[in-house]
Amino acid sequence: MLKIAKNVVTRLAQVRQPLRELLKQQTRSYGEFNVNIPLAAPTTDLNMGIPFKGDKILVTYIWIDGTGENMREKTRTLDKDPGAPENYPRWSFDGSSTYQAFKGEDSDMILKPAAVYPDPFFGGNHKLLLCEVLDAHEKPSSKADF
């Protein structure tokens, strides 16, 4: 699992800069007034320059959905860096929207932190947190195993 996680983080970091450079090349001209507006710029780039004050960090929880083909994520703010993955708080979500719960089942799922990496997108002390998915009874989701 750690090898897969490292490959994902490495690949994301490799793709980010060339994509940003390509998007910066897109320019719209309005008469004499030129504005550099990246077309279809990733929404994360809109707030990249905003300073993050204090000791708070952004932690992006990442997991594989029920199809086994897509990654899902959601981000939360923590007061400080907890350090090891087991010290990060667990987080819940509705598994029916990610194909991890069947109709009529208890669709609550729990994200259990498994590995933590520096966030190459937000930089600073922000983190990417790779997670395992547990069902409402805290048993591994058979549809979400790595």
pTM of the model: 0.65
Say if 101 falls within a structural domain. Answer: yes
Q: Which domain holds residue 75?
A: 2-40+56-134
SS3 category, 52: coil
Check residues 115 and 32 and name the one with the higher pLDDT. 115
Q: Taking 60 as the threshold, does the pLDDT of residue 26 lie above it? A: no
Instruction: Residue 94: give its domain's CATH number.
Output: 3.10.20.70
* Residue 59, H or E segment: strand 57-64
Say if 12 falls within a structural domain. Answer: yes
Report pLDDT digits (tens) over 54-109.
Answer: 788 999 999 998 888 889 999 999 999 999 999 999 999 888 888 887 766 788 89
Kindly state the tokens that stand for 49: 């320059």
* Residue 131, H or E segment: strand 127-134
pLDDT-wise least confident of 8-12, 104-108, 117-121: 8-12
Say if 71 falls within a structural domain. Answer: yes
Q: Taking 80 as the threshold, does the pLDDT of residue 47 lie above it? A: no
How far is the C-alpha of 71 from the C-alpha of 81, rounded, in Å? Answer: 23
Q: How many domains does the chain have?
A: 1
∠ CA 5-20-126, rounded to 5°: 45
